[in-house]
Structure 1
Amino acid sequence: MDESPGPRRVVVNAIRRPPSEGARIVGLGAYRPARVVGNEEAATAADVDAQWIAQRVGVRERRYAEPADTVVSMAAEAGRAALKDAAADAAQVDTVILATCSMPSPMPNGAAQVAAALSCPAAGFDLNAACSGFNHGLAVADALVRAGTSGGVLVVAAERMTDWVAPHDRDTGPIFADGAAAALVLPSSEPGIFPVAWGSDGTKAGLIAIPAATGRMEIQGRQVFRWAANALAPVVDAACDLARITPRDLKAFVPHQANLRIIDAQAQHLGAPAIAVARDITGSGNTCAASVPLALDALRRSGEITSGDPVLLFGFGAGLTYAAQIVLCP
């Protein structure tokens, strides 16, 4: 006997919408796993000194996913929080973009499952630009909304990096962690997401990789550090130029939370000492694509930024990929 469910009505998002003058983030949401892992535990697993982790990378504690915390479930929780923050209904979302590089399998995609979990009648697709994934997703969402292709886009970044790093590997084990964050993007009469400055350098793809033979992340830390701390400065400058804003006009700088020394070097390049700089890495570790929106959410919750403040977001990572844009805080 065929026990498959009967046919369901196919929802087609083919509404003709006029182009919008702009798009804006109207809500943020985050999900941080309950399990907190301090440096003593992480150091023991990697056979290093706990203080060495803090000094070398800046991490003091991080969150690890519980068995029930999947990439999809964490993404759904973050998305639900973003909808609540915006006082928005799931019916307003017709596109879900999931930025992730840690799905356990390439099929099925995660975004469609997130949309289903939130009861969003949405198109859903995954986007893999590793640690700059949220920035890429935000740029795509902005373009979709301004073109009139989408009336509302939920951009979610979710990672379960602990599935892909070896706890005993001192270059990755004590650094990477898990979590998710989301942003709801809706049309706006004025731009709230400014043009993206982005690019990639596939000639350096081998610096951060997960070889099929091992299934574990490998990273050439020193080379990545030099590239991120020095070579990426023009990307930050370009993002400011595209928004016609100077670094001194910014209220905050939210870079990828990869390494505290890299964050400090990039902040110094901006030459705007009065702005808030996200240093979420100290308590969250490196959550890859989720790190930028998690740090943005944390800054807003702390009161360091408020609605309408211009904030520079900057992601970079495996690929190698990079992307930066200025947004207005929701």
Structure 2
Amino acid sequence: MLTNTDLEGMVETSDEWIRRRTGIATRHIADGPVADLATEAAAKALATAGPEPGEIGMVIVATCSAIDRCPSIAAQVAGRLGIPAPVCFDLNNGCAGFRTALATADHAIRAGAARHALVIGAEKMSDVTDWTDRGTCVLLGDGAGAAVLSTADAPKLGPVVWGSDPARRDLVRLVDAWQPAFAQDGQSVFRWAARELPAVAAEACHRAGIATTDLAGVVTHQADLRIVEALTDRLDLRDDVVIGKDVVDSGNTSAASVPLALSKMVGRGELPSGEPVLLFAFGGGLSWAGQVVTCP
């Protein structure tokens, strides 16, 4: 665990400044590579969901921080968990990666290409952090989350709303392909997320056949607390809706942030099983993906 007090000894900053600007108190730094994080999250998801490894027909890992190019992290996870013959690939769509991967697996299952899919968001952002840049190093953390998607008589995932704005692709980026470092235009990203994305999030609810007031929970990408609150404050939500704020404890874990936050909320019993939850992510590209799911 890396606290704000720890960061005070590394860069010119303070606990008060970090909390006021980002809402973040702690973040976690992994010892091992992205494949280790992905495998541990995937093993927990399989143990919870029930399918045997041999039943998994697809493994997708969403990541932008993995150093390994080939074999894919997905293939490494499948090999470690004894999944014998799945289609495996990694997907890089920045912070929207897990949501993009989840929708991709959903489409594959609906098309009959697989009966069970393992979808993982895993990031070791500490490997791509510029620890001299106080504007970004205070944000980032490491983590992973995973989900198993299976065929069902009644689909529990609504239609996805996804897209990108390539004209603003450089607002969030990893610079220098061989020794990458995270960089962003934070204020521009904040304005974009607060002004333009609430309508996209509402459209995901509309396509699922519900109103935003029907939602029991909202889990957005955990960019920082100000963005999470700015986005959700502009949605028409009930007073009792549960909003994911894992960013306070985990920092910005990019593609891992939505599944990581959701799994903690489910584990703590904060979200009622069977109720609609909006999963919404956004980030580099600039990309976004939103989908209403039935809470497991």
TM-score, normalised by the number of residues in structure 2: 0.96
- The structure 2 residue matched to 1:163, chosen from 127, 135, 156, is 127
List aligned pairs for 1:95-244, cutoff 5 A: 95-121=58-84, 122-212=86-176, 215-244=180-209
In 1, the alpha carbon distance for the partners of 2:9 and 2:215 equals: 41
Structure 2 residue runs without a partner (length 5+)? none
1:275 aligned onto 2:241: yes
Give 1:88 deviation, angstroms. 2.4
**Structure with greater helix percent:** 2
Residues 289-316 of structure 1, C-alpha deviations (whole Å, 9 max, x = no match)? 0000011011111211132111000000
List aligned pairs for 1:27-106, cutoff 5 A: 36-66=1-31, 69-106=32-69
Could you say which residue in structure 2 is the equivalent of 1:11?
none
Contact 2:216–2:272 (8 Å) recurs in 1:
no
In 1, the alpha carbon distance for the partners of 2:180 and 2:110 equals: 39
Kindly tell me the number of residue pairs found equivalent between the two proteins: 293
Give 1:217 deviation, angstroms. 1.3
Give 1:277 deviation, angstroms. 0.4
Amino acid aligned to 2:282: F
Contact 2:198–2:232 (8 Å) recurs in 1:
no
In 2, the alpha carbon distance for the partners of 1:229 and 1:44 equals: 32
Which piece of structure 1 moves more, 50-59 or 85-94? 85-94
Amino acid aligned to 2:74: A
In 2, the alpha carbon distance for the partners of 1:219 and 1:264 equals: 19
In 2, the alpha carbon distance for the partners of 1:104 and 1:321 equals: 22
Structure 1 residue runs without a partner (length 5+)? 1-35
In 2, the alpha carbon distance for the partners of 1:306 and 1:50 equals: 34
In 1, the alpha carbon distance for the partners of 2:134 and 2:228 equals: 20
- The structure 2 residue matched to 1:262, chosen from 222, 227, 231, is 227
Give 1:87 deviation, angstroms. 2.5
Give 1:191 deviation, angstroms. 1.2
In 2, the alpha carbon distance for the partners of 1:127 and 1:260 equals: 26
Could you say which residue in structure 1 is the equivalent of 2:268?
302
Contact 1:93–1:151 (8 Å) recurs in 2:
yes
Amino acid aligned to 1:267: T
Give 1:127 deviation, angstroms. 0.5
In 2, the alpha carbon distance for the partners of 1:90 and 1:171 equals: 42
Corresponding residue SS for 2:121: strand
In 1, the alpha carbon distance for the partners of 2:53 and 2:30 equals: 26
